[in-house]
């Protein structure tokens, strides 16, 4: 058996591109794992693996967990870490790389960098036919176009063109080659980057398309409790996550003393009947969904986020200005025109409601994390929120999740006419505005959920 290479990443695009890079290198068997724990299971049952190339940030077992397992159980197995995060931020990788069999690829990486790692580990030159690189036909079947000419190898020096760059790939013809025992197409080395770009574009397009088609998404509305659930599934939150979030909400509500005024306020929040309650529910569910994709989160994290979402605007429910001016509830930025046009007293109420809601929460339970989350729920990137106006790097990682979920929910509910175009616009704006500092984690989770 040839060397097996285990590729580990929770991002489908990266796994595909990495597979193409590795396939083009030599006769290696490629094994795929979508999490650190899945990779550990594969390693336990497969002793032929000669190299692990792993991402760091994954929901079910990180690259750090995997590296620790490899070092304890297979100390000589070469390990390459590929990550968007600088090594110095990753505690498990202090002093990494420790030897020539260990490598670090910072995303985004190139085919040359990946081949460099393979050459170092397997001590060989890239591809024997230096004019051509190989692509498995079974891999090509996933794409509709190559964007380049493709050839079949007849002998050591003879290649015949069988696919024109502009043609659609025909699955039936590809199957015929496979039936004849032909496993590879060959692509000119100079064309390989164009081919990878074409594959990447096609994958990205598939992954960024909404889960529902236009007709289904047109039915989605965020103006009632029933529609809220349907809407959340339509934007990519799984049924499992929604069930989890509902159980957490029920347990939070059942722990509030029944006869207290707060119990009545939170019941209103849970109802989904008003803008403010729909915003709370959507924010809480979205925050749990975002947290599920963040490596350091657990059930305790979800509970804190959901509690903060239920309480964050509780103060508004007992405030006269909000009853008279519902539009005040929609102010989320300190530099917004709407806030600037309010009389100073009203501005003060808007800017103070986070603190007032946190104080209300404090009468029910003493929890500093949740208190701070409620206070911070209107902070925004670049210090454009309130009341503290802190910057993205100073916002806590936990608060960043709630804030991301809050702003996204606010924009989604605010879409008068909900359709693919409106959703795509909200999605793209969020990714553009919330990709700095501690917002990076929720932003990456968000891309996963909505793809």
| Contact set with Fe ion (CB under 5 A) | 313
Q: How far is CA 320 from CA 198, 266, 317, 346, 347, in A?
A: 57, 18, 8, 10, 13
Is 331 or 443 the residue whose CB approaches Fe ion more closely?
Answer: 331
Q: How far is CA 15 from CA 45, 86, 183, 252, in A?
A: 21, 20, 20, 39
Q: In angstroms, rounded to a whole number, what is the distance separating the alpha carbons of residues 390 and 23?
A: 47
Closest CA to 114 of 127, 98, 99: 127
Sheet holding 49-54, edge to edge: 29-33, 4-8, 49-54, 79-83, 102-106
Residue 312 Cβ, how far from Fe ion at the closest point, in Å?
5
Residue 228 Cβ, how far from Fe ion at the closest point, in Å?
18
Contact 57, 295 (CB under 8 A): yes
Residue 289 Cβ, how far from Fe ion at the closest point, in Å?
20
Is 82 or 409 the residue whose CB approaches Fe ion more closely?
Answer: 409
Q: In angstroms, rounded to a whole number, what is the distance separating the alpha carbons of residues 189 and 252?
A: 59
**Closest residue by beta carbon to Fe ion:** 313
Is 293 or 354 the residue whose CB approaches Fe ion more closely?
Answer: 354
What totals of helices (H) and strands (E) does the chain contain, helices first?
21, 9
Instruction: Calculate ∠ Cα 407-211-203, nearest 5°.
Output: 100
Contact 384, 334 (CB under 8 A): yes
Residue 318 Cβ, how far from Fe ion at the closest point, in Å?
14
Residue 286 Cβ, how far from Fe ion at the closest point, in Å?
15
Tokens 């501005």 locate to 347
Is 41 or 335 the residue whose CB approaches Fe ion more closely?
Answer: 335
**φ, ψ for residue 434 (rounded to 5)?**
-115, 45
Is 313 or 376 the residue whose CB approaches Fe ion more closely?
Answer: 313
Closest CA to 163 of 177, 155, 90: 177
Is 23 or 313 the residue whose CB approaches Fe ion more closely?
Answer: 313
Closest CA to 105 of 96, 199, 360, 12: 96
Question: Residue 222: CB partners within 8 Å, gap ≥ 6?
Answer: 228, 231, 278, 282, 412, 413, 415, 418
Is 80 or 280 the residue whose CB approaches Fe ion more closely?
Answer: 280
Residue 282 Cβ, how far from Fe ion at the closest point, in Å?
13
Residue 316 Cβ, how far from Fe ion at the closest point, in Å?
7
Closest CA to 63 of 74, 54, 72, 50: 54
Q: What single-letter DSSP state applies at residue 235? A: T
Is 202 or 362 the residue whose CB approaches Fe ion more closely?
Answer: 362
Residue 338 Cβ, how far from Fe ion at the closest point, in Å?
14
Residue 363 Cβ, how far from Fe ion at the closest point, in Å?
18
Is 313 or 379 the residue whose CB approaches Fe ion more closely?
Answer: 313
């Amino acid at each position: 058996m040839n060397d097996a290479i285990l590729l580990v990443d929770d991002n489908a695009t990266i796994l595909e591109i990495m597979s193409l890079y590795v396939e083009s290198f030599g006769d290696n068997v490629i094994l795929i794992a979508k999490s650190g724990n899945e990779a550990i299971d594969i390693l336990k049952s497969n002793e032929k693996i000669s190299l692990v190339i792993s991402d760091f940030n994954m929901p079910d077992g990180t690259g750090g967990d995997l590296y620790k397992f490899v070092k304890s159980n297979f100390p000589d197995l070469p390990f390459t870490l590929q990550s968007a995060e600088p090594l110095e931020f990753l505690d498990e990788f202090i002093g990494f790389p420790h030897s020539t069999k260990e490598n670090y690829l910072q995303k985004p990486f190139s085919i040359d960098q990946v081949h460099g790692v393979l050459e170092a580990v397997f001590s060989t030159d890239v591809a024997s036919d230096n004019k051509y690189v190989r692509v498995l036909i079974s891999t090509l079947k996933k794409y509709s176009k190559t964007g380049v000419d493709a050839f079949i190898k007849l002998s050591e020096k003879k290649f015949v063109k069988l696919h024109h760059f502009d043609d659609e790939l025909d699955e039936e013809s590809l199957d015929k080659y496979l039936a004849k025992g032909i496993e590879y197409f060959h692509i000119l080395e100079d064309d390989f980057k164009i081919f990878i770009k074409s594959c990447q574009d096609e994958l990205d397009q598939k992954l960024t398309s909404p889960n529902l088609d236009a007709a289904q998404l047109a039915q989605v509305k965020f103006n009632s409790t029933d529609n809220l659930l349907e809407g959340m599934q339509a934007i990519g939150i799984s049924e499992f996550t929604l069930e989890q979030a509902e159980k957490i909400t029920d347990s939070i509500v059942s722990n509030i003393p029944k006869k207290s005024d707060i119990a009545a306020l939170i019941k209103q929040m849970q109802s989904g009947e008003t803008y403010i309650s729909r915003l709370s529910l959507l924010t809480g569910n979205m925050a749990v969904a975002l947290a599920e994709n963040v490596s350091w989160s657990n059930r305790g994290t979800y509970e804190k986020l959901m509690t903060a979402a239920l309480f964050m605007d509780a103060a508004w429910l007992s405030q006269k200005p909000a009853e008279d001016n519902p539009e005040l509830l929609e102010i989320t930025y300190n530099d917004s025109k709407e806030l600037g046009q309010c009389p100073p007293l009203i501005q003060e109420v808007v800017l103070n409601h986070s603190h007032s809601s946190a104080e209300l929460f404090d009468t029910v339970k003493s929890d500093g994390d949740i208190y701070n989350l409620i206070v911070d729920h209107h902070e925004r990137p670049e210090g454009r929120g309130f009341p503290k106006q802190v910057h993205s790097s100073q916002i806590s990682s936990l608060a960043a999740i709630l804030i991301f979920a809050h702003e996204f929910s606010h924009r989604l509910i605010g879409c008068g006419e909900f359709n693919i175009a409106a959703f795509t616009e909200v999605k793209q704006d969020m990714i553009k505005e919330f990709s700095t500092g501690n917002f990076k984690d929720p932003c990456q989770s968000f891309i996963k959920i909505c793809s």
